[in-house]
Structure 1
């Protein structure tokens, strides 16, 4: 056994990702409280509003089955999951 590492080369970012062609978009499972339909939504179908309190922090979407506007409270964990999955957040600032 020799100490040389023949046959190996330094990996670059380009070579590490050269085989990657596409990343599947993140989808979120949701349900409509009106029609009880369950479905998956893309990040672009969700709206996230982050307010100063838990009462003013929520996410919303339109049910693709019945068309009703759905609004649900969003705690810290939900905000993390949604923003991590690409949902854009509207941050409300209180007046001082």
Structure 2
């Protein structure tokens, strides 16, 4: 997963630039770009229960991929909605 910002520059509004994430689908094997709104991050009690998910814009498959510490940091810094999983 890669990220990059868009917009900005001299004279640009003071709003933070939208972060775009690069992702790929394991089903149709296409690569594409997604906004933070298209991704969801779930943080569980372990690496096995921490993942991000999205729907492939090409084939419509629901995709779930593991998220290590660096991916969690990139996604949260980029404004992806986060859900904390609690086992009770």
Please give the range of the TM-score, normalised by the shorter of the 2 chains: 0.7 to 0.9
2:26 to 24, 33, 37: 33
Alignment gaps of 5+ in structure 1: 1-18
Q: Work out whether 1:20 is the aligned partner of 2:12.
A: yes
Alignment gaps of 5+ in structure 2: 1-10
The offset of 1:23, in angstroms, is 4.1
Q: Work out whether 1:85 is the aligned partner of 2:78.
A: yes
The offset of 1:20, in angstroms, is 3.0
Over aligned residue pairs, what C-alpha RMSD do you find? Answer: 1.2
More strand by share: 2
TM-score, with length taken from structure 1: 0.75
Larger radius of gyration: 1
